[in-house]
Chain A
C-alpha cells in the first residue's frame, strides 16, 4: 500500500513537471481558460440569464466560473487517465508497477492543479458570497466527489483503451455530451420539467449544484445534494475500479 502511493507520488510529480516544465506559475495557466470563458459567457448570456440568478449578473458569473472549473477538471483528468496505461506500456513491460497507479496519478495531477490553482479562488468566493466561514469545511465534499468520479470513469476508459484503440474518438464525443448536458453556463430550470429529470442523472449534476450552494448560498437549502454527490463519486469510483481489475489480466498481452 505504502509502495502504491510512493509510485503514485512519483508519477504525479513527473506528469506535473512535464506539463509545466518546472515553472511553478504554470499552474495558473490552467485558470486562464475558465476565466476567459466566464467573460465570454457573461457577455453573451449574462443579461438574459441574470433573471434566473436573483437578477444578479455577479451571481451568474460565479456560477459559470464554478461550472467551468468542475467541467475542465473532469474532462482534463479523464482524458489524461484514458491514455495513461497505454502510454506507459513500455514501462510496464520492463518494470513491475501496478496498473492502477497510472490512472490514479493522472487524476491526482489534476487534483494538485485544482488545489493550487482554483481552490484559493473558491475559498475567497465562499467567504465573499455566502458570507459563512463554516462553508469552507463543506468545500472538500464536492471536490473530493469530483476527484472520485473522475478516477472511476478514468479507470474504465483507461482499461478499455488498452483493448480498443478507437476509444479516444468515442470518448471525445461522450465528453462533449456530458459537457453540454451539464448546467455550466445555463440554469437547469430553462429546460422542460421532463428533460430536467433526465439531465439530473448526469453524475456531475449533484457535484456542480452542491459546490455552487456551498460557495454562494447563505443557507444550504438542498443538503442532500452533498450526500448525493459523494455517493455518486464513491459509487462510480468503486465500480470503475472493479471493472479495471476485471480487465487487468489481459493488459500485458496488448501493451
Chain B
C-alpha cells in the first residue's frame, strides 16, 4: 500500500528537520560581534529544533488534517510545504500548484489602489502577471468591491480587506490547498460565500492540508490525520483512531497535572501537620 501511495503522492517530506536560531539570540550588531570575536567571546547562536525528522506522504486527492498542541510545529510543516521555510535537513518534494491560504492579505500596500493590490498580491502569491491581470474583474466581482476599484486599500474596512485577500488567494485553480483552520471571512453573507468556495475545493477532490484545533472540523473535512508533537509525527492514520489517541494523551497529561498538584497539596498538608 505504501508503495502505491508514494507513487501517487503530490507532497512528500522525508526526514525533514528544521533547526532555527532562537529569537533571543539575535546578535544584531556588527560592531558588537566584531569586538566579541576579537576578545574570543564569539559563540555560535542558540538553536532550537522545530521539526525533527518529519516523514509525510500526501497522495493526490487526500484530505489531511494536522493536529497537535500549540507550538508542536503544525504551521511550520505547512510553511515548509509552501516553500516559505527551507528545511535544514531532509527533502521536500511537491508537485502541481499549491495555494497556501495562510494569513491572507499579507502584502497589501495601503497606499495603492485596490486593483493595483490585486495584481501585486496575485503575483506574489505565485500567479503570473498576465494571468492575474486577466482575473482582476472576476476578483473584484467576487469580493463585491467593484465600486472601490480605485480606492486606496487603506480606505477599506477590515472586513472588506479580508474579503479582498480571500478573493485573490482563492481565485486560482490549485492542485493543493493549504489551510490554517477553515477560513471564512467577512459578514454573515460573505462567510457563507467563502465557505462555499472552500467546500468547492474539497468537493472537487483537490488535495488538502489543514491545521485545526477543532476536532469537529477535522472529522468533517479530512480522510486521514497526522498528529504532530514536539516537531515529530507522533501518529498518522485514520481520522477517528488518531483523534482518539491524541485526545487520550491530552487527558493523560491533564490527569497527571491534577495528580501532581494533589500530591503536592497532600505533602504540604503533611509537612504542616508535622
Contacts and interface: CB of A to CB of B under 8 A. Distances in A.
Nearest to A2: B128
B125 to A, nearest CB: 6
Interface in B1-41: 20-21, 26, 28-31, 33
B30 A170 contact: yes
Interface in A79-135: 90-97
Interface string A156-169: 00001001111100
B83 interface: yes
B259 interface: no
A17 B115 CA distance: 13
Interface stretch (A7-15, A48-56, A141-149, A196-204): A7-15
A219 interface: no
B112 interface: yes
B123 A10 contact: yes
B124 interface: yes
A11 B117 CA distance: 11
Contacts of A253: 20-21
Contact of B106 (A6, A9, A90, A250): A90
A18 B110 CA distance: 9
Contacts of A252: 20, 84-86
B119 interface: yes
B26 A254 contact: yes
A14 B86 contact: no
A17 B28 contact: no
Classify chain B: how many residues form its interface, as a range. 20 to 34
A176 to B, nearest CB: 18
- Do most interface residues of chain A lie in helix, strand or loop, or is the interface mixed? helix
Given A94-B103, A94-B106, A160 B111 contact: no
A24 interface: no
Contact of A10 (B20, B28, B31, B124): B124
A10 B86 contact: no
A108 to B, nearest CB: 15
Contact of B107 (A3, A91, A166): A91
Nearest to B98: A96
A21 interface: yes
Nearest to B34: A164
A9 B112 CA distance: 15
B196 interface: no
A249 B87 CA distance: 10
A163 B134 CA distance: 40
B131 to A, nearest CB: 10
Contacts of B20: 252-253
Contact of A95 (B21, B30, B125): B125
Nearest to B47: A253
Given A95-B125, A160-B30, A13 B106 contact: no
Nearest to A248: B86
Interface in B222-246: none
B139 interface: no
B107 A13 contact: no
A94 B102 contact: yes
A95 B84 contact: yes
A17 B108 CA distance: 13
Contact of B123 (A7, A93, A94): A7
Interface in B56-104: 82-86, 100, 102-103
Contacts of A167: 30
Contact of A97 (B21, B26, B124): B124
Interface in A2-40: 2-3, 6-7, 9-11, 13-14, 17-18, 21
Contact of A17 (B85, B100, B112): B112
B126 A96 contact: yes
Contacts of A250: 21
Which of B28, B106, B112, B124: most chain A CB closer than 10 A? B124
A253 B126 CA distance: 23
8 contacts: A9-B129, A18-B112, A94-B84, A95-B106, A95-B107, A166-B28, A166-B30, A254-B21
